[in-house]
Amino acid sequence: MNGTGASWRDFYELGKPRVVALIVFTAVVGMFLAVPGMPPLSKLIFGTLGIGLAASAAAAVNHLLDQRVDAVMFRTRHRPLPTGQVTERQALLFAMSLAMISMIMLTSLVNTLTAVLTFCSLIGYAIVYTVFLKRASPQNIVIGGAAGAAPPLLGWTAVTGEAHAGAFLLFLIIFVWTPPHFWALAIHRREDYAKVGIPMLPVTHGVAYTKLQILLYTLLLIAVSVLPFAIGMSGLLYLAAALILGLMFLWYAVRLYRSDDASMPMRTFSYSIWYLSLLFAALLLDHYIPALARGL
């Protein structure tokens, strides 16, 4: 197809909705954790929209820059650009429009700090990671993970106008979570990455080494995940959830490390998404349930 028949669903897929949904959720949790009560409604609404639109813009740019690689890889060959459902021009206009609306919204309706940090995150993922890091080093996802870890920090600054230590702790959790999360997928798709010359860790250092790194990062993640309790940011409810979820992640990591079961990489990858979602949900519940209990 020549792209003239592009539908709303094609553009929807350009924005990587499932990935953006998790990004937006962590940003919203950052907003709620930034204040003892409810965040200002306008900041909550426009901050969420602005951060979400920027994330979708970055995803669309990623589609645009990676379209030739996507056409070869089994996992991505059905995306709108490789199949011709959307043209390069349409994708570029879509990405630029989302980015512009996001920046205008964040600057005028939220605050300048959030707009600047969001723009840096957008450039970090769409350009620095996609164009340079992804093809330069097997540590690409570690270094580039900083852009993907930014949403809770952005949510926090959207409400408060400043970057608090608690916001950086939320950033750190996602930053440490990203390597074991993505390397599990990379093991499953290592042949695809090797075929297109992208130096993902399983391609350059082998599957066994990557499994060991997943295990070590999972142990580090468990340690980092209890820091909100250690600094008094969260309570026992969150601590219990963090330990249970972390031990389950460790179970998957150990099974992956010790097993040749071809299904384990994707099972570990799938659990990692649930892990982060439930961990941030626990942060949110722990923040408000004690206040509700006192009110009763």
193 or 101, higher pLDDT: 101
Predicted confidence band at 57 (pLDDT cuts at 50, 70, 90)?
Answer: very high
What are the backbone angles phi and psi of residue 185, rounded to the nearest 5°? -65, -40
CA distance 133 to 101: 27
Residue 24: the pLDDT is 94
The residue with greater pLDDT, 142 or 205, is 205
Residue 137 has pLDDT above 50, yes or no: yes
pLDDT at 200 over 50: yes
| Architecture of the CATH domain 1-163 | Orthogonal Bundle (1.10)
pLDDT at 2 over 50: no
Q: Give per-residue pLDDT as tens, 242-266.
A: 999 999 999 999 999 999 999 999 9
So what's the pLDDT on residue 85? 85
Distances (CA, A) of 135 to 20, 138, 142, 160, 208: 23, 8, 13, 37, 21
The per-residue pLDDT for range 86-120, each reduced to its tens digit, is 888 998 999 999 999 999 999 999 999 999 999 99
CA torsion angle 225 229 232 237 (round to 10)? 130
Count other C-beta atoms under 10 Å from residue 29's C-beta: 23
- What is the pLDDT of the chain when averaged over all its residues? 90
Flag whether pLDDT at 3 surpasses 50. Answer: no
What single-letter amino acid sits at 131? V
CA distance 161 to 208: 45
pTM flag (> 0.85): yes
Residue 217 has which token pair?
């990062």
Cα distances (Å, whole numbers) of residue 21 to 56, 71, 113, 151, 186:
10, 25, 23, 11, 21
Question: Do residues 247 and 222 touch, judged by C-beta distance below 8 A?
Answer: yes
